[in-house]
């Protein structure tokens, strides 16, 4: 069965605020985690990834945090912009030694002006 799930199906934020999207995973053998952004009618777009030997990784306006103790993953978006409105998916991989990804159900982020 699916091992990745999300706590909040929909998140509404004001433009300029920080957004936090959470994700839980159940397979402790997962070695690789990745966040994708999906806009309507498009394919998933890579945002940021992290290996299990790290607990934090930063990109441009985004930070991914990994807490292996509680099997929790989060995506932080700083200064959220209207263009960030989309569905965000976390995915895990590495159980089989390669990039077979298991996706969560997704969180819809709505940014209001």
Partner 1 sequence: NAGVMQNPRHLVRRRGQEARLRCSPMKGHSHVYWYRQLPEEGLKFMVYLQKENIIDESGMPKERFSAEFPKEGPSILRIQQVVRGDSAAYFCASSPQGGVGNQPQHFGDGTRLSIL
Under the rule (CB under 8 A), what is the footprint of partner 1? 2, 4, 31-32, 34, 36, 41-46, 49, 51, 89, 91, 93-94, 96-106
Question: Residue 15 or residue 39: which is nearer to partner 1 going by CB?
Answer: 39
CA distance 104 to 6: 6
Q: Which residue has the tokens 């209207």?
A: 82
3-class DSSP state for residue 82? helix
Report DSSP state, residue 83.
G
Question: Residue 44 or residue 111: which is nearer to partner 1 going by CB?
Answer: 44
Question: Residue 14 or residue 100: which is nearer to partner 1 going by CB?
Answer: 100
The CB-of-92 to partner 1 minimum distance in angstroms stands at 11
CA distance 92 to 103: 7
């Amino acid at each position: 069965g699916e091992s990745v799930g999300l706590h909040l199906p929909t998140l509404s934020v004001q433009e300029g605020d920080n957004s936090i999207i959470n994700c839980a995973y159940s397979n402790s053998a997962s070695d690789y985690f990745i966040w994708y952004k999906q806009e309507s009618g498009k394919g998933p777009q890579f945002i940021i990834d992290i290996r299990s030997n790290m607990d934090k990784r930063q990109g441009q306006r985004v930070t991914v945090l990994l807490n292996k103790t509680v099997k929790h993953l989060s995506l932080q978006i700083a200064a959220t912009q209207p263009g960030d409105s989309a569905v965000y998916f976390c995915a895990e991989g590495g159980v089989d030694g390669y990039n077979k990804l298991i996706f969560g159900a997704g969180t819809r982020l709505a940014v209001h002006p």
